[in-house]
Amino acid sequence: MLHGYLLGLSKLIPFEVSHYSAIYRRITKLKIDLEKTLLKYKGKDVVISLDSTGVKVTNRGEWIHDK
């Protein structure tokens, strides 16, 4: 699902989309339970970032608490 979303977004904002298998491998290596985390923040904004180094899931504004 994430791969399809990125492909659609890349038509509006040109960028190279990682292959599905690369995204899947990165997600499975996360040290968190993605489904449990999303349920925990149900109804709140959740940010999922994907770049060439991997995937990170945070809730909105969490980055400022880490500073």
Model confidence pLDDT, tens digit, residues 58-67: 666 665 555 5
| Mean pLDDT value of segment 45-55 | 67
Residue 48, pLDDT above cutoff 80: no
| Spatial distance between the Cα atoms of 34 and 30, rounded to a whole number of angstroms | 8
For residue 2, give every residue at least 6 positions away whose Cβ sits within 8 Å of its Cβ, in sequence order, or none: 23, 27, 48, 50
Read off the pTM. Answer: 0.44
Model confidence pLDDT, tens digit, residues 31-41: 778 788 888 88
Residue 20, pLDDT above cutoff 70: yes
| Spatial distance between the Cα atoms of 60 and 28, rounded to a whole number of angstroms | 22
